[in-house]
Amino acid sequence: MLQLAGRKALITGSTQGVGLEIAAALSQSGADVVLHGLTLDARAEAAIQRCGKAGVPAPLVIGNLADPMPGGPVGVAEAAVNCCPGIDTLVCNAGTFIDEPFLEMPFEVFDRTMKLNVYSQYVLVQYFAKRWMAEGVRGRILMTGSINGRLSEPVHVAYDTSKGAIDAMVRSLCVSLAPHGIRVNGMAPGLFRTPLTEPALKDDRIRRWMELHTPNGVVPGAEVCGGTAVFLLSDAAEHIHGQMLLVDGGMSVWQQPDPPPEWMSR
């Protein structure tokens, strides 16, 4: 039930980080995958090779999802369909964090964050949902949210707002699309080691602080998202609709851990 053989998936933002790990896990489970990135660079080439090792097609489409709506996302969707007809699975993963302190943040930064993290997902889901309904396809959609859709951090106003919107969108899309046989769920990562977070986590004190705030004490790599994505898109999750599954080691349920004694003495 955890095999995805025969399914064809577009994964946005899949040349690195969480998106790449999702794409690799889907390909290893038998799905044909279409990768997406901004440029055909060494990182994208490595992603193509990694997914191709599973013996399934892994073409790459290039496009900026933050381009004027709806043209940017629609262009990516059409390019994906052209190179892989019959796409029946969509993973909306692409996103950005470009926040500045709230009182100093230009509207343009907030606007760009919402365009990429929220508006593009709306456009992509609508594009594929219309196709699937016309063709009688029982599609599957996974949206990447974040623990920041439930919790907040300083200098994260735009990002937190966008991920909260994704949390709500998953529920609303479920109500709209489940009656048509289209299953929508979300996955909310906690703190992982990614190219974005690695510089901060090299600071031993920051790493230990984040481990302290995670009940299982682990700050893993993004690969822990791969199996979660496969499950939510598989037949094993057939009756799971409209849920945002937090993949965070328990961080979101712990109000405030007690600091160890040695920290209190400093």
pLDDT score of 213 more than 90: no
**Mean pLDDT score, 109-138:** 98
| Gap between the Cα atoms of 75 and 51, Å rounded | 23
Residue 265: per-residue pLDDT? 64
Query: What percentage of the chain exceeds 70 in pLDDT?
Result: 98
Token readout for 73 is 């996302």
Beta carbons of 32 and 9 less than 8 angstroms apart = yes
Backbone angles phi, psi at 50, to 5 degrees: -65, -50
**One-character DSSP codes across 167-203:** HHHHHHHHHHHGGGT-EEEEEEE-S-B-TTTHHHHTS
Q: 10: buried, middle or exposed (CB in 10 Å: 19+, 13-18, 0-12)?
A: buried
Q: What is the mean pLDDT of the chain?
A: 94
CATH superfamily for 8-250 is NAD(P)-binding Rossmann-like Domain (3.40.50.720)
> What's the distance, CA 115 to chain centroid?
15
Residue 264: per-residue pLDDT? 64
**Mean pLDDT score, 70-74:** 95
pLDDT score of 257 more than 90: no
**One-character DSSP codes across 79-112:** HHHHHSTT--EEEE---------GGG--HHHHHH
Among 10, 23, 104, CA closest to 65:
10
Beta carbons of 217 and 211 less than 8 angstroms apart = yes
**Mean pLDDT score, 61-72:** 95
Among 212, 246, 232, CA closest to 26:
232
Question: Which tens digits make up the pLDDT trace of 215-238?
Answer: 999 999 999 999 999 999 999 999
pLDDT score of 259 more than 80: no
Confidence (pTM): 0.94
pLDDT score of 261 more than 80: no
Instruction: Give the helix, strand, coil percentages of the chain, each rounded to 5.
Output: 50, 15, 40
Beta carbons of 175 and 134 less than 8 angstroms apart = no
Token readout for 115 is 């365009």
DSSP 11: E
Domain ranges of the chain: 8-250
Start-to-end CA distance of the chain, whole Å, equals 52
